[in-house]
């Protein structure tokens, strides 16, 4: 045991679950190692610091989420229908998290944005890149919808930003009220924000 | 010095500024006492715990903010104009915070919602009450606007929730991108969310 690549994976998995449940500052390296079942030396063999682990957790989580977003948003069906599907899957994911942990975990990127972005530039920059990429993915769908005449909004980038901001705001309330039902208005709100034609 | 009511005020003021800048978990009681310039015994004379201080900070911050929201939302002028004024003042407040601290501080209630709500029921309940009150205040304005025929939305409570969620989402991005300009779309977005008649 110890400094095998397996230990690195264990630390990453423990970090991911703990950062999601408890945030960054509340955790110490010792606690992460205990949860991972690896000695402290192994931690520092794979990660320079807790911040380095946080960046690795963020990267891994985004790699997974980007795969999901790409699958849904580039899939079959009309563009707005794909956006609706994204919200449905987001809500389902939060419900699963709630069943597993007892409480809605929220969005790891949103959580870290509010907890960390003013304190470390490396985390701030990484989270900016992730939200930029999310906005770009939503923008592509909105642009498709605009080309079909399904929406009336003209600044598709700004509209995509508003949709992602609304998503983060509602996920915040789903977490605060421990109620995934808070996300049920996302679809109607997004149609309003995009100036969608009545269907 | 010491256990005078002045020491309690100093701890509260230090807590407010530190929780806003750095969050809850990153702070220790010793650091708060150092910033307040009071001995640790004074802290525990006035506050049972760091959590008790956090609740007092939240209460004080909300008392101030509720006063501002009441002044703006119950003021003169058409209902939607008062809502626009609320966003303008929120943006101005974040700009002042950015000038003072170098970075946009975000919303203390949103910050603590994402950092703390899954970890202490007392904080979760208090923050829920605050956001419920915000939604109620916005609802009252939306209801006035509906009575005048200025908006078309029928579920005013749900619409108010969406406006507050959009506000929290955009404030998150103002903090993450350290750019208060992110709030510039709030007004147009709120008109869209409320189904406001074109003016």
Strand intervals (E) in B40-138: none
For B9, residues 6+ apart whose C-beta sits below 8 A from its C-beta are none
- Indicate the pLDDT class of residue B1, thresholds 50, 70 and 90: very low
Mean pLDDT in residue range B91-103: 92
CATH code, residues B1-47: 1.10.10.60
| Interface ipTM above 0.90 | yes
Residues of A within 8 A of B25 (CB-CB) are 23-26, 115
CB contact under 8 A, A173 and B166: no
- Residues above pLDDT 90, as percent of chain A: 87
Residues of A within 8 A of B172 (CB-CB) are 110, 113-114, 165, 168-169, 172
Domain ranges of chain A: 1-47, 51-193
Q: Can you identify the CATH homologous superfamily of domain A51-193?
A: Tetracycline Repressor, domain 2 (1.10.357.10)
CB contact under 8 A, B114 and A175: yes
CB contact under 8 A, A169 and B173: no
Q: Check: CATH 1.10.357.10 for B52-194?
A: yes
Task: Give the integer Cα–Cα distance in Å for B38 and B20.
Answer: 20
Q: Express each pLDDT in A137-154 by its tens digit.
A: 999 999 999 999 999 998
DSSP A100-118: HHSS----HHHHHHHHHTT
Mean pLDDT in residue range A51-60: 97
CB contact under 8 A, B185 and A161: yes
A193 touches chain B (CB under 8 A): yes
A133 touches chain B (CB under 8 A): no
Mean pLDDT in residue range A61-67: 97
Residues of A within 8 A of B106 (CB-CB) are 114, 118
- pTM of the entire predicted model: 0.94
Strand intervals (E) in chain A: none
- Residues above pLDDT 70, as percent of chain B: 96
Q: At B102, phi and psi to the nearest 5?
A: 90, -20
A87, pLDDT greater than 80:
yes
């Amino acid at each position: 045991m110890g400094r095998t690549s397996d230990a690195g994976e264990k630390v990453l998995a423990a970090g991911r679950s703990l950062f999601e449940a408890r945030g960054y500052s509340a955790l110490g390296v010792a606690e992460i190692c205990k949860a991972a079942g690896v000695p402290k030396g192994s931690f520092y063999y794979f990660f320079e610091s807790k911040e380095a682990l946080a960046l690795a957790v963020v990267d891994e989580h985004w790699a997974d989420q980007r795969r999901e977003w790409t699958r849904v948003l580039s899939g079959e069906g009309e563009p707005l229908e794909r956006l609706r599907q994204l919200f449905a899957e987001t809500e389902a994911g939060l419900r699963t998290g709630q069943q597993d942990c007892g409480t809605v975990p929220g969005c790891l990127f949103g959580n870290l944005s509010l907890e960390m972005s003013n304190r470390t530039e490396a985390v701030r920059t990484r989270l900016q890149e992730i939200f930029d990429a999310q906005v770009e993915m939503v923008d592509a769908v909105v642009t498709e919808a605009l080309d079909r005449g399904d929406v009336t909004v003209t600044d598709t980038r700004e509209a995509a930003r508003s949709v992602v901001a609304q998503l983060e705001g509602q996920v915040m309330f789903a977490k605060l009220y421990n109620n995934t039902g808070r996300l049920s208005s996302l679809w109607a709100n997004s149609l309003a924000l995009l100036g969608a034609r009545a269907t």
